[in-house]
């Protein structure tokens, strides 16, 4: 039987070519993967930015609507009309509110005002563009149904809700009237779309808003047409009613053409380096064909296949073997591996590091959180999750500008790292060691929100000690470009596994505790008891 016999030259040449193809495939695949990962991380960051900005805009709308309701009930005529229960007098007072500054200056778009008695029966209604409406037409029925079962001190609180009214998105707030013993309630119903459109000026990105039927209700003039979207990144945040019905979709667009060009340039640099190194290897292999052995070449091919199957082997070096010429080939291969490993590390740093503070970002923090859970599974090593949010940071941004705010965030991150330092014992009070925290991580999740993982912290006392150290570190004012800025920090603490055995539950409970601490100005809180700690 005829057998094809290949010369050693051909065999060696084919081996080197195969190595080159695998190297090029690895370089191309690595570039594509990290280009995709980088863009997805940018999209995630933009989505978080949109979500934060939407929350801020709705909070501002709530404050302004509440002020309108409080201004109405402060009027003597309104209190008399409410006490008498006269429909005509109440409607007249409600209609007058549509002429107030907040409404006429387009600070809020007021759609409806409804007055209820203490049992939530409508007494009078006024609509935008109409003298009066039916008395039995609440602006947001879901809000009234949620408020109706309230008793005691709960009846003194203002309640808000997003809802649909005749297929239109509405934001309603229910304000008690009558002081400490409410005699009625005022429902202020507004259109949230104009307020949400301010995100464009806040973030500096074009905005598009669609309603529950996917119909456009607002679109920035700078929003590109559908045929010009190939170099843009769109992040969308959906708002729903309390019942989970779709309400609005707020989308923000960012031009990523420059980022894509940078990623493409890096990818072609990797490809060029791989091609050049492979060609040198082929020429060298044919030159030393007669004086070589196959084993060193097999070692190189084996390493390349390992790299192709697992990128963790990318930076590993191969010990050159054989005669001098083969050693050169091995050294060239190692050089290529080092360069690819360096580029890989650079891309990984871009994908998992916050560019402002140089702290790990949300994606890296979540990976570390997952690793902490795995460590508990393997070694029963508990840990504490700290979610931290700066107090009064928005005031700094609004009064001194975002540039000062960014510098302040950098100073905060430096101070946090100095408290949670790299030494084994990072929290001391009165020269007493509280706990060893090797392997801890401090990260910036976005905006003015930070987080930390503290290994081997398993008790409320230990976690409180570290948290008090953090609170103490924020007492001294920050000096930023001649400004002495005093801010605080609110800390929500969740212990694993006491407060949750999965990441999402742990994050949610720590987040709830953080907002409890912020709303109650108590510095820190735990999710199970919402235990407060005095601000130091």
Catalytic residue ranges = 448
Residue with tokens 């706990």: 435
- Give the C-alpha separation, 513 to 530, whole Å: 6
Element (H, E) at 92: helix 87-97
Residue with tokens 């940078």: 262
- Give the C-alpha separation, 236 to 381, whole Å: 38
Distance of CA 278 to the CA centre of its chain: 43
The closest alpha carbon to 271, from 14, 21, 36, 39, belongs to 21
- Give the C-alpha separation, 502 to 497, whole Å: 8
Task: Write down the H helix ranges in 109-221.
Answer: 141-147, 193-196, 199-203
Residue 533 DSSP class? B
- Give the C-alpha separation, 345 to 314, whole Å: 10
Please report, for residues 67, 73, 123, 190, 366, the alpha-carbon distance to residue 81 in angstroms, rounded to integers and kept in the order given. 20, 10, 10, 23, 56
The closest alpha carbon to 490, from 510, 515, 468, 466, belongs to 515
- Give the C-alpha separation, 467 to 474, whole Å: 11
The closest alpha carbon to 329, from 318, 313, 341, 314, belongs to 318
Would strands 524-525 and 488-496 be described as parallel, antiparallel, or unpaired?
parallel
- Give the C-alpha separation, 246 to 163, whole Å: 9
- Give the C-alpha separation, 379 to 255, whole Å: 46
* Residue 350 near residue 360, CB atoms below 8 Å: no
- Give the C-alpha separation, 122 to 136, whole Å: 6
What is the DSSP track for 274-339? HHHHHHHHHHHHHHTGGG--HHHHHHHHHHHHHHHH-GGGTTPPP---SSHHHHHHHHHHHHHHHH
């Amino acid at each position: 039987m005829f057998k094809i016999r290949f010369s050693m030259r051909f065999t060696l040449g084919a081996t080197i070519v195969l190595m080159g193809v695998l190297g090029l495939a690895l370089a191309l695949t690595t570039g594509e993967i990290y280009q995709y990962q980088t863009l997805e991380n940018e999209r995630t960051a933009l989505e978080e930015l949109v979500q934060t900005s939407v929350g801020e805009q709705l909070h501002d709308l709530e404050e302004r609507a509440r002020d309108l309701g409080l201004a109405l009930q402060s009027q003597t005529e309104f209190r008399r009309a409410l006490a008498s229960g006269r429909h005509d007098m109440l409607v007249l007072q409600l209609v007058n509110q549509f002429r107030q500054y907040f409404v006429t200056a387009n600070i809020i778009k007021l759609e409806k005002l409804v007055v209820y008695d203490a049992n939530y029966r409508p007494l009078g209604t006024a609509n935008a563009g109409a003298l009066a409406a039916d008395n039995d037409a609440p602006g947001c029925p879901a809000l009234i149904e949620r408020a109706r079962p309230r008793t005691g001190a709960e009846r003194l609180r203002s309640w808000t809700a997003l809802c649909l009214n005749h297929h239109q998105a509405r934001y309603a707030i229910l304000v008690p009237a009558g002081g400490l013993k409410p005699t009625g309630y005022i429902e202020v119903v507004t259109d949230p779309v104009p307020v949400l459109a301010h995100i464009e000026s806040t973030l500096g990105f074009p905005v598009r808003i669609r309603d529950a039927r996917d119909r456009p209700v607002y679109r920035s003039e700078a929003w590109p047409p559908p045929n010009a979207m190939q170099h843009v990144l769109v992040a969308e945040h959906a708002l729903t009613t309390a019942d989970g019905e779709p309400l609005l979709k707020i989308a923000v667009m960012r031009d990523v053409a420059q980022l894509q060009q940078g990623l493409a340039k890096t990818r072609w640099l990797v490809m060029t380096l791989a091609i050049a190194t492979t060609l040198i290897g082929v020429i060298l292999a044919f030159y030393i064909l007669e004086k070589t052995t196959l084993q060193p070449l097999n070692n190189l091919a084996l390493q390349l296949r390992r790299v192709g199957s697992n990128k963790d082997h990318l930076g590993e070096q191969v010990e050159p073997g054989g005669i001098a010429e083969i050693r050169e080939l091995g050294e060239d291969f190692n050089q290529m591996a080092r360069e690819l490993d360096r580029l890989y590390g650079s891309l990984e740093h871009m994908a998992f590091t916050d560019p402002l503070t140089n702290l790990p970002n949300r994606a890296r923090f979540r990976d570390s959180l997952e690793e902490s859970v795995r460590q508990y599974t393997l070694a029963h090593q508990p840990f504490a999750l700290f979610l931290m949010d700066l107090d009064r940071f928005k005031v700094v941004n609004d009064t001194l500008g975002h540039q000062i705010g960014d510098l302040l965030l950098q100073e905060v991150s430096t101070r946090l790292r100095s408290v949670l330092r790299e030494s084994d014992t990072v929290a001391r009070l009165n020269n007493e060691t509280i706990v060893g925290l090797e392997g801890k991580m401090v990260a910036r999740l976005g905006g003015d929100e930070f987080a930390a993982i503290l290994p081997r912290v398993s008790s409320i006392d230990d976690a409180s000690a570290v948290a008090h150290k953090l609170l103490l570190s924020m007492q001294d004012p920050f000096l930023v470009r001649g400004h002495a800025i005093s801010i605080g920090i609110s800390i929500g603490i969740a212990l694993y596994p006491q407060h949750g055995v999965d990441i999402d539950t742990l994050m949610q409970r720590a987040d709830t505790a953080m907002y409890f601490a912020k709303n109650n100005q108590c510095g820190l809180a735990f999710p199970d008891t919402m235990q407060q700690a005095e601000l130091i």
